[in-house]
Structure 1
Amino acid sequence: MIPRSARSSPLIRLLRYGKTSQPQVFGAIACSILNTVFDLAPPYLIGIAIDVVVNEENSLIAQFGIASITGQLAVLSLLTLLTGV
């Protein structure tokens, strides 16, 4: 006869086993989400840079009140630096 604990779902057993490590598990989940966001940021920033070059004063960044192209590119450079590219 197979013990009841061996018959339960592997996910349920994992959650029971990791109950004492919940802060580390939530920290790992948060780090994984942040890693995904930072991985997806460079292509998005490249798209915004193209938008600045093509649309100039009508770009996405200009809608936030930064009208000059130099200022928009400076903001974009700062965002790129913050994402660690």
Structure 2
Amino acid sequence: MQNLSHLVEDELSAEESVSSTDLPVSDPIRKLRQKILELGLASSNELLRIEKEIASSVDDSVDFAKSGDLPRPEDALTQVFAP
């Protein structure tokens, strides 16, 4: 499994899912997943479906961002907030 960093190069497609065995023991996502399962708040299949939905949404957002126009240089200093 790839490193779960926030770099664009480390995209996670909807077909790939995050397995709890792929995460470090101290990972908060793994801990939350385990707690949800222990409390019976969701099944493993439900969590897998949610993970796939999230991965798909992230992929769609990345595709949208990549397909957009780059900002124009003349707009670099517009709409800048400075107190």
State the TM-score, normalized to the length of structure 1: 0.35
- Bigger relative contact order, structure 1 or 2 (CA pairs below 8 A, ≥6 apart): 2
State the TM-score, normalized to the length of structure 2: 0.35
